[in-house]
Structure 1
Amino acid sequence: MLEIRCSGTPYEIGFTHGQLAKEKILGSIDFYKQLFWESCSMTWEEVLQEASKYHDILKKIAARYLVEIGGIADGAHIPFLDILALNIRSEITFGLFSDTSNGITDIPSDGCTSLGWSARSKSFIGQNWDWRIEQGPNLIICHISHPDTEIPDIAMVTEAGIIGKIGLNSKGVGCCLNAIRCHGLDRSKLPIHFALRAVLESGSREEAVILIKSSGVAGGGHILVGDATGSVGLECTSRWVKELSMDDNGRVCHTNHLLLDKSGIDEPLWLEDSPWRLSRIRELATKISEPTLDTIFEIFKDTKDYPASINRKQEVDSKAQTLFTIVMDLTSKYAQVTVGRPTEYSERRFLRFVDG
């Protein structure tokens, strides 16, 4: 997996990202051109028109991120709107999906499973990130720093061209993501990948929660936010952001459907395996006496109900596969990333922040 280190102004960060990752960014664009057509019946030209609708409001509420996107576009010699479209890919795929999807009744599934766990003075979060294998080669690890500012340094796994994803920062704040498919968008709020970046720039879990609840999120999704004090799930729709607190055992588990009251939200049946995976990860967690990075990683290897299991395989009726697994020890500001299914990963990387 390509690993990029970016430092400087937002433009310099974006430019470095664009220069080094151009081939992978083009791969991301090609992938989403096909996916948006399948899931939303939208041509790329129509996608760019949709992306343009976000520009003016984002200039008001997230101007620094647009500068970074501009840097990526210039560095990669790719039009700005193409990069912006990648950064609203969730709002398009999961907010503007077509019920017929060009005759394809099985919408591509972003079937991730996540877990937060606080116990014995340790706080962990982690997930399997499940998506189409065609996008696997376009994943990168991105390290970002803003010298001479109070913004924490960031280490995240992302899709090339997307400025916010899954990872942790030098303050020990981390986030994970579960896709949720529900109708409706509010373009006056943060796209979910912008929201993830905002979490990764936060100084604490509490600060991140306040920020996301006050700004709102444009479409559906679940963001698991954690720090050394524990974790919380943020179920997001275009209408609200609600908190899913840790249970009595210090755990937050989530898959790909809303768990809290969803009155007024149109969430059609999507992934039948989502409730099964939620029940399964809760069951597996109860069998562990003490959570560690290694014992949590073992949970993500589980293949019950294969291929649509926690550890997914893209075959038969499962349209997604686990492309990477990340487990973060937020107390120690440390993470392990494995590329590929956790039972057969091709490489392992470590992300670490050292105090002082």
Structure 2
Amino acid sequence: MVFTVRCSGSPYEIGQDHGRQADAHIKSSMEFYSGLFQRTAGLAWDEVQKIALKFVPSIQSKWPTLLEEMQGIADAAGLQLTDIVALNVRTEITFGMFTDACTAVGWQTPDTVYLAQNWDWMEEQRDNILLYHIEQDGYPAIQYLAEAGLIGKIGLNSAGVGVCVNAIRAKGMDPTKLPMHLALRLLLNSTTMQAAVGVMEKYGMASSCHFLVGDPSGTLGLEWTHLGLQTLQPKDNRIHHANHLLLEHPGVVDTNWIPDSEYRTRRIEELTDKIDDVSAKSIQAVFLDEGNYPGSICKTASGSSTVATLFNIVMDLKKARADVIMGKPNAPDETLTLKF
């Protein structure tokens, strides 16, 4: 059963709730990433902390409440602030030498707006994926799924703003701009999609990624590199994305680091083309697809595929509700409903 973390109060108090309830999971996640950084980048954890420290001045000056929350996590879990910052900037460290994969779709219908995705990552982190419920003064209530220690990820808020994320690997990083996971939290703190986009445009992104954002009025795809933003508009009321840039980004070279990304982007468009009755259930069904196994929409860690699908989420933004399958959607471990 997915471990649930409930937080409320000031940013520091929210962090303390997080750190106190999830301390064992956070330490397990640190152990995982310590080993992964060592294997893939030759970085010991103290070196990772030094890199994370470079982000602290910018976070302190521009997003101090997020740093207060991370400090609360660290204090309650008996860790250093740089431990928690490192987890939250793992995507930016070593220019995204390793990042999670996923396939996502946004779909506006006459009745609602759906956001959906499979989140794919290494199976060792399965037990460190937590469900967060956060009540905070001055912002909507939020619910999201993320690895232990992360202050933002994939989910939605009580205003009907939702976000999915696709990892992109394009060289370049700017520690003065917004790290990806902090940006996801600011998106979830927003009351409208346009307000969320405005926050992102104000600060820029530290590294490359794609955010699929929406609210009851519609959906947009935000392709980011450290140099700027290109916006994906819906085609036939839909946006499909995987793990490579779909638009031109001057001055940036996309390594297209996952060979099956282009296949998954084409495949999910083909599958959604065949849907006549659009619903959360019919959208969820496309994420069970195992075409091009193991590098399919529903991924399996086998052969050339080093990651597996660890959960699926389908959000109905007009209802501010999400249906979640933990584990592979074609072999579920558990099903959840997120609602306000």
Shorter-normalised TM-score: what interval? Answer: over 0.9
CA contact (8 A) 2:214 2:220 kept: yes
State how 1:71-220 maps to structure 2 within 5 Å. 71-92=72-93, 95=95, 97=97, 110-147=100-137, 149=138, 151-220=139-208
CA distance in 1: counterparts of 2:238 and 2:248, whole angstroms: 19
Which ranges in structure 1 are unaligned for 5 or more consecutive residues? 98-107
Question: In structure 2, how many angstroms separate the alpha carbons of the residues matched to 1:124 and 1:262?
Answer: 27
CA shift at 1:96, angstroms? 5.2
The partner residue of 1:308 within 292, 295, 300 is 295
What is the match of residue 50 of structure 1? 51
Corresponding letter in the other structure for 1:134: E
Equivalent position SS for 1:332 = coil
2:323 is aligned to 336
Distance 1:153 1:209 in 2: 19
Contact 1:7–1:144, Cα closer than 8 Å, also in 2: yes
TM-score by length of 1: 0.93
- How many angstroms does 1:46 deviate by? 1.1
> Residues of 2 paired with 1:39 and 1:269: CA distance?
18
Partner of 2:254: 267
Matched, 1:294 2:269: no
- CA deviations 1:119-157 (Å, max 9, x no partner) are 12210001000000001110100011114x2x1000000
Note if contact 2:118-2:311 (Cα within 8 Å) is conserved in structure 1.
yes
Call closer, same or farther: CA 1:76–1:109 in 2, change over 3 Å. Answer: closer
In 1, the alpha carbon distance for the partners of 2:38 and 2:230 equals 31
> Sequence identity of aligned pairs in percent?
42
Q: Give, in whole Å, the separation in 1 of the partners of 2:281 and 2:113.
A: 13
2:26 matched residue in structure 1:
25
Output the amino acid matched with 1:242. Answer: Q
Structure 1 residues 139, 285: closer, same or farther in 2, change over 3 A? same
SS in 1 for 2:52: helix
When normalised by structure 2's length, the TM-score is: 0.98
The one-letter code sitting in structure 2 at the alignment partner of 1:31 is: F
Q: Is the 8 A contact 1:40 1:92 kept in 2?
A: no
Find runs of 4+ consecutive structure 1 residues off by over 3 angstroms: none
Q: Which deviates more, 228-237 or 29-38?
A: 29-38
> Are positions 1:320 and 2:303 aligned together?
no
User: 1:231-250 to 2 correspondence within 5 Å?
Assistant: 231-247=219-235, 249-250=236-237
Query: Cα deviation per residue 1:40-92 (whole Å; 9 max; x = unaligned)?
Result: 22221111000000111110111000000000001111111101100001111
Q: Secondary structure at the match of 2:22?
A: helix
User: Structure 2: how far apart are the matches of 1:186 and 1:165?
Assistant: 20
Paired residues of 1:36 and 1:92 also in contact (CA < 8 A): no
d(CA) in 2 for partners of 1:237, 1:290:
36
Question: Which stretches in structure 2 are left out of the alignment for 5+ residues?
Answer: none
What amino acid is aligned across from residue 317 of structure 1 in structure 2?
S
1:100 paired residue number: none
Q: For the Cα contact (< 8 Å) 2:32–2:125, is it kept in 1?
A: yes
Alignment deviations for residues 183-220 of structure 1 (CA, whole Å, 9 cap, x no partner):
11111111000000000000101111111112101001
Residue 267 of structure 1: CA displacement? 2.1
Q: Does structure 1 retain, via aligned residues, the 8 Å contact 2:159–2:192?
A: yes
- Distance in 1 of aligned mates of 2:47 and 2:279: 46
SS of match in other structure, 2:213 = strand
1:103 alignment partner in structure 2: none
Answer with 265-274 or 255-264: which moved more: 265-274
* Aligned residue pairs, count: 339
SS in 1 for 2:91: helix
Looking at structure 1, the residues matched to 263 and 73 of structure 2 have their Cα atoms a distance apart, in angstroms, of 39
SS at match of 1:224: strand
Letter of the structure 1 residue corresponding to residue 119 of structure 2: W
Cα deviations by residue, 1:253-286 (Å, 9 ceiling, x for unpaired): 1000001112211322411100000000000000
Q: Which shows bigger deviation, 32-41 or 237-246?
A: 32-41
Distance in 1 (CA, whole Å) between partners of 2:40 and 2:162 is 30
